[in-house]
Amino acid sequence: MSRFNLEEKIMACWSTDQDLEVLYRHICECKELDRDFIANTLLGISNSHQLKSQELFDLFEKMIADGDIK
């Protein structure tokens, strides 16, 4: 593993804000709000962020164990 793999995982976590911005625009532009759609989308974004964060932490731990990060 390299620092580039770590940077890739960090950037993936940062993309969550883009997902939230898309939902925000939808809410602001939509005349009829479907609460179930919004709730399910938020849950999906949350689950996705948790998975990305776990991948990031797993890679970080592996790089420490392999001596790539001191």
Q: Given this model, what pLDDT does residue 24 score?
A: 94
DSSP letters, 17-66, are HHHHHHHHHHHHH-SS--HHHHHHHHHHHHHHHHHHHHHHHHHHHHHHHT
Sole residue written with tokens 């776990």: 54
- For 17-61, the pLDDT digits (tens) are 999 999 999 999 987 888 999 999 999 999 999 999 999 999 999
Confidence of residue 4 (pLDDT cuts 50, 70, 90): confident
The residues, ordered by sequence, that sit 6+ positions from 60 with a Cβ below 8 Å of its Cβ are: 6, 69
How far apart are the C-alpha atoms of 39 and 51, rounded to whole Å? Answer: 18
What is the predicted pLDDT for the residue at 28? 92
